[in-house]
Structure 1
Amino acid sequence: MLNRILKLAVCVVPAALIVGCATPKAPYDYTAFKAAKPRSIVVLPPLNNSPEVNAGNSFYAQVTYPLAEAGYYVLPVALVGETFKQNGLTSAADIHAVDAKKLNEIFGADAAMYVTITNYGASYNVLNSVVLVTANAKLVDLKTGKLLWSGTASASNNEGGNSGGGGLIGALVAAAVKQIIASTTDASHPVAGVASARLLSAGTPNGMLYGPRSENYLKP
């Protein structure tokens, strides 16, 4: 009986302490990814499902770095954006609807990265103001249209928690100050950079595989 109580207690502690009770994610199936062996990637303008109008541009400006670091040739986003504009495509939704083989004809890339932003910006409650950015992505083979990989990631400016003093009044003042800063500056932009790195960097559990320009390419 005592053992059963102890086991139950372990799984009902506060959320910050119950990581050990969570069911691990199943390993991602990289069969299609490894078979395709993409060398070059065109990143399409992100589909923005958040209320922040600048979310797409902010995230788009930071997506090439983690992919290049992972060992892929990534087409410059300015060139990609201008190419779509010259062809009358300015909406991310319309661009995401373009046929995979057509994208291959236009850009000559092996694969396309489709990014969707679901959260971007600050939310305010009584005791805190938190900037949160969440996005998901999928990598598609442009020759076959097959899904090679998909993932999601989030980042916030409050991941370390609020360790400041001052009690309730101090927490209220700190939250108000953070909200003012978030509303007068693009506090979400650096957070989007963290989310982008988490989403698209290679070598993370269930994340992107290393590309052919990386010394870690094809390593187990």
Structure 2
Amino acid sequence: MARASALLMMAWLMLSCSVTTTTRRTAYPKMYEERPASILIMPPINETNHVEAKEFFFTSLAQPLAERGYYVFSPFLSMELLQQESANDAEVFVEGSMKPFLDFFGTDAVLFTRIKKWEKASLLSQMYVEVEYILKSAKTDEIIFQKSANVTVDLSVNSGNGLVDLLAGAISTAVTDKIVAARKANRFILADMPFGRYSPEYGKDGDIPAREKHITAVVR
């Protein structure tokens, strides 16, 4: 019995040693090397049939980035300036040089997003969102942070009464739900981005385990 226990313990130790955890510093080395302080958000690339997805996502990206400790250029002001320069079509720039944005805005990094799924299940009070985030250095054009996610956003109202909750979820306004869904999805997914220099946690999170490059999750 003792021999069997010892063998089991050795097997467990060997398995534990073989499992390695990827830290944020390992997953996003360019973020720690370049230490971007400012981010310009480009209008999302909407690959769905839902036109409104682009606006809801665009207007809900700034807050979670600011909460991570980055200076974020005002989406509304930057959109106006980009339109004046005929540069608001993100599809044209995502594979190109970021130098024009460095010269014009003085930004350290440029964030591109691709919305691949944006669907609402009315009776279930859920939004199904699939999105990709690509943060590129304005100085080197390299991708310094990339994440994709397929998330189910729970928009249900929890009163303790199943029938009441079902009805409340069904009659809630579509606009409100989609705004909330965009905010929840962006905050959840961007929570894996290393802290920026305006956060008190800046430079302290390198050893924190990083999430997978592609995330599948339920967000509440």
Question: What is the TM-score normalised by the length of structure 1?
Answer: 0.71
RMSD between aligned alpha carbons? 3.0
What's the CA shift for 1:157? 2.3
How many angstroms does 1:94 deviate by? 2.9
The correspondence for 1:142, drawn from 138, 144, 155, is: 138
**1:80 alignment partner AA:** S
Instruction: Please state if 1:151 is matched with 2:147.
Output: yes
Report the CA distance shift for 1:178/1:160 in structure 2 as closer, same or farther (over 3 A): closer
2:53, 2:76 → 1: CA distance? 16
Equivalent position amino acid for 1:200 in 2: L
Question: Could you tell me which residue of structure 1 aligns to residue 217 of structure 2?
Answer: none
For 1:165 and 1:212, how far apart are their aligned partners in 2? Answer: 45
Displacement of 1:128 after TM fit? 4.1
Structure 1 residues 24 and 187, CA, compared in 2 at 3 Å: closer, same or farther?
A: farther
C-alpha distance in structure 2 between counterparts of 1:213 and 1:178, whole Å: 38
Contact 1:138 1:151 in 2 (8 A): yes
- Deviation of residue 61 (structure 1)? 0.7
Amino acid in the other structure paired with 2:154: N
Q: In 2, are the aligned partners of 1:121 and 1:188 still within 8 Å (CA)? A: no
Aligned with 1:197 (options 187, 204, 217): 187
Taking only the aligned residue pairs, the percentage that are identical comes to 25
Q: Which residue of 1 aligns with 2:28?
A: 30
How many Å apart are 1:96 and its aligned residue? 3.3
Counterpart secondary structure, 1:187? helix
- Is the contact between residue 126 and residue 152 of structure 2 (CA under 8 Å) also seen in structure 1? no
Distance 1:31 1:133 in 2: 28
Contact 1:40-1:74 within 8 A present in 2 as well: yes
Distance apart, 1:112 and its partner CA: 0.7
> Any conservation in 2 of the 1:122–1:182 contact (CA below 8 Å)?
no
Is 2:106 the partner of 1:108? yes
User: Partners in 1 of 2:116 and 2:79 — Cα distance?
Assistant: 21
Choose which of 75, 79, 82 in structure 2 pairs with 1:81.
Answer: 79
Task: Give the whole-Å Cα distance in 2 for the aligned partners of 1:66 and 1:130.
Answer: 21
| Residue segments in structure 2 that go unaligned for 5+ positions in a row | 1-18, 206-220
Normalising by structure 2, what TM-score? 0.71
TM-aligned CA distance change 1:25 to 1:114, over 3 Å: farther
When the two structures are aligned, how many residues end up with a matched partner?
A: 184
